[in-house]
Structure 1
Amino acid sequence: MLKTKRQEIDLLLKRGQQDPLPIMEQFYTLQGEGAWSGTASWFVRLAGCDVGCHWCDVKESWTPAEDQYQSCDSIVAKALEAGANRVVITGGEPSIYNLTTLTQKLKEAGLAVHIETAGPHPLTGTFDWVTFSPKKFLPAKDEYYQRAHELKIVIFNERDLEWAEEHAARCADHVQLYLQTEWSRRDRISPKLVEYVKQNPKWRLSIQTHKYIDIP
C-alpha cells in the first residue's frame, strides 16, 4: 500500500524530541508580520510539520532530515553571536517538539523568546510571546486560546472570515487579533480585509512586509 505524504512525514518526525532539534534554517532579520513587525529577531525555523497547509511557502520544512539536528547550546550560541536580543521559534510546526531545554537555555542567556505555532500539540517551554495561527488542516489544542498573546488568521477566501471570528470568540480578552491575506491572493483579498477591519476594529491587519522589501 502506497504511503501518503503525511504518513511519510509522520515516520520521520521525532515527536517530543528535546535536544538536539532539527533546524531547517537560522537567520537574523526583521520580523515581517504581526505585532512585532519591524523588530530585529533571530529566527529559528525547525524542520518538521504535520499540519500540511496546501498554500505553505516553506513546504521543504515539513520533513526533517538526520543531518539537520543541532544541539540547543549551538542554537543559543548562534543567536548570541548575531547580536540578537529576541529569538523567534517557528517552523514547520514547532509544537511537535519539547522546547523546554531550548527555551530555558535561551532565557538563561538573557534572550526574549517568541514562538509562532498553529497549536496542534501541547505547548512546552517558557515564552515571552506566543503567536497563535490555527489552521483548518489540524485542530489546535484548547490551551492556546488562553496562552496566546496574538491570534493571526491567514485568510485564503472570504469564508475564512467567519472561521476567524469563531477563533477570536474563544480567545482571552488580552489577545491581539490579526487578519493576514494568504500571499498568493493578496491582490484579491487585501482590499476586502481593509474594509473588514474598518467595520470590525477589534481586528488589525497583518502585512507580510518582509516579502515586499525582500528580506528573509
Structure 2
Amino acid sequence: MVSKNQELVETGEYLPIMEDFYTLQGEGAHTGKASYFIRIGGCDVGCHWCDVKESWDASKHPVTSIKTLIERIPENVKTVVLTGGEPSSYNLYPLTKLLKQRGFKIHMETSGSNEIRGHVDWICLSPKKLQRPVEKVINNAHELKCIIYNQNDFKFAEEYAAKVKESCELFLQPEWSKSKGIVPQIIHYILKNPKWKISIQTHKFLNIP
C-alpha cells in the first residue's frame, strides 16, 4: 500500500528534506560561491565512503512542502544547490519551476543514476561504480567531479572524461579520509594530464556546512 507521504512526494510538491542551509560551495567549479543547499533524503547508490550516509534513508527525513522550503531561502540568495542523497530520484519539476520564478540559478550535484526531472542550470556529475550514470546526464553535465579513493579511480575518471561534452569541466577530488595519501597522487596525475583540475573539500577546512 502506498503511504500518504509517498503520494505527496510522487507529485513533487513535497520532498523528504534532510537539511537546508546557506553557506559557501566547498567543491568543484563553483568553490567559494555563496549558495543555498537543499539536501534531499534518499539515495539509490550508497557509496561505502559517503560522508552523509544519514541521508540515505528517505523515511528518516520530514516530508516538506516545497513552498515552505522556498520560504526559508534568504532574499539575497542567488544560487540554489540541490544535493542529497540522490536528488535525481525525485520529480523536481515543481520545485525547480518555483525556484526559477524567484530568479535563482539552480545547480545539482548528482551521481547521474536517474534522468533529471527538473530545470537545472548547472549539473555536477559525480559518477559512481555501484550504479553507473544514465547517458542523458552524462551528455548534459557541465562539470565532471570524480572522487579518487584508490589508483583504480583514475582509470574510472578517464572513462567518463571521454564521454562528457568537450566544454565539461573536469575535476579529481580526493576522498576525505584518504586525502593525505591521495592528494600527492592527484597532483602528480594532473601535472601529467592537465585537462584535469583538483577539487578540495574546502568547507571542511573552513569548518562550515
Asked whether the two chains share a fold, i.e. TM above 0.5, the reply is yes
Normalised by the length of structure 1, the TM-score is: 0.91
CA RMSD in angstroms comes to: 1.6
Residue aligning to 2:71: 77
Q: Any stretches of 5+ residues in structure 1 without a counterpart?
A: 1-11
Residue aligning to 2:25: 31
Once the 2 structures are TM-superposed, how far is the Cα of residue 179 of structure 1 from its aligned partner?
0.2
How do 1:45-194 and structure 2 match up within 5 A? 45-65=39-59, 68-81=62-75, 83-194=76-187
> What percentage of aligned pairs have identical amino acids?
48
Describe the SS at the equivalent of 1:143: helix
Matched positions, count: 204
Partners of 2:177 and 2:61 lie apart in 1 by 32
For the 8 Å contact 2:147–2:173, the answer to whether it is kept is yes
Residue aligning to 1:9: none
Partners of 1:144 and 1:183 lie apart in 2 by 25
AA matched with 1:162: K
1:60-80: per-residue Cα shift (whole Å, max 9, x none)? Answer: 100012761111111211113
Partners of 2:188 and 2:61 lie apart in 1 by 47
Once the 2 structures are TM-superposed, how far is the Cα of residue 25 of structure 1 from its aligned partner?
0.2
Describe the SS at the equivalent of 2:70: helix
1:151-188: per-residue Cα shift (whole Å, max 9, x none)? Answer: 00000001110110011000110100000000000000
For the 8 Å contact 2:56–2:85, the answer to whether it is kept is yes
For the 8 Å contact 1:76–1:109, the answer to whether it is kept is no
When residues 13 and 58 of structure 1 are mapped into structure 2, their CA distance, relative to the original with a 3 A threshold, is farther
Residue aligning to 1:4: none
Q: Which runs of 4+ in 1 moved over 4 A?
A: 12-17
Partners of 1:166 and 1:128 lie apart in 2 by 24
